């Protein structure tokens, strides 16, 4: 569930459509938060253009999640 503890950051995590086999294509998003101050812990694809992003709590204040820092690559035009 969404209350699970998220231990680390995603690192070059490629989101592929359900049932897709093969190499990632343009439009298959790549999320990355494996850098200082990155805090994206999990990515779930909901629909083709919708994702649930789970932000890790701040190390010094685990009650709050008021900021986010991650990158997204491999987007296609008009995505």
| Residue 1 resides in a domain | no
- Residues 68, 39: contact at Cβ < 8 Å? yes
| Residue 2 resides in a domain | no
Q: How many domains does the chain have?
A: 1
| Residue 21 resides in a domain | yes
Q: What is the mean pLDDT of each run of 10 residues along the chain (79 residues)?
A: 66 91 93 89 90 86 81 91
| DSSP states of the chain | -TTS---S---SEE---TT--SS--TTS-EEE--STT--EEEEEEEETTEEEEEEPPPSS-TT-------EEE---TT-
Structural domain for 53, as ranges: 8-78
Hey, how many other C-beta atoms are within 10 angstroms of the C-beta on 24? 13
| Residue 62 resides in a domain | yes
| Residue 68 resides in a domain | yes
Check residue 5 and give its pLDDT.
Answer: 59
| Residue 34 resides in a domain | yes
User: Has this prediction a pTM greater than 0.85?
Assistant: no
């Amino acid at each position: 569930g969404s209350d699970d503890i998220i231990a680390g950051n995603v690192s070059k995590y490629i989101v592929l459509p359900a049932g897709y086999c093969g190499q990632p294509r343009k439009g298959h998003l790549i999320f990355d938060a494996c850098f200082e101050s990155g805090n994206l812990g999990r990515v779930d694809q909901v629909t083709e253009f919708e994702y649930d992003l789970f932000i890790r709590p701040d190390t010094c204040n685990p009650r709050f999640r008021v900021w986010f820092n991650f990158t997204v690559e491999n987007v296609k035009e008009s995505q």
